[in-house]
């Protein structure tokens, strides 16, 4: 994703207080944000799954067999 062209609105002291983007740039930003948010969620779930696998391998947690899992569905 490229950095969009932005226009800044400044106050009387010249401090930036708002950013203006084209609608297309805004939609691209929102789509990219949502994509990254989904990836972070997936990463979190995978980290938890691998942590659980390590706990099962160490005997710290009881695992579930595939058969039991399928029977729960």
- Residues 24-34 pLDDT 10s: 999 999 999 99
**54 Ramachandran zone, left/alpha/beta (phi>0; psi -120 to 50):** alpha
Would you state the pLDDT for residue 27?
95
Does the predicted TM-score (pTM) go above 0.75? no
Say how far residue 33 (Cα) sits from the centre of its chain.
8
pLDDT band for position 46 (cuts 50, 70, 90): very high
Q: Tell me how crowded residue 4 is: count the other CB atoms within 10 A of its CB.
A: 13
């Amino acid at each position: 994703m490229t950095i969009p062209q932005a226009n800044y609105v400044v106050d009387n002291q010249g401090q930036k207080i708002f950013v203006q983007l084209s609608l297309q740039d805004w939609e691209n930003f929102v789509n990219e944000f949502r994509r990254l948010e989904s990836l972070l969620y997936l990463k979190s779930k995978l980290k938890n799954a691998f942590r659980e696998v390590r706990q099962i391998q160490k005997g710290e947690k009881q695992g579930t067999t595939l058969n039991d899992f399928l029977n729960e569905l």
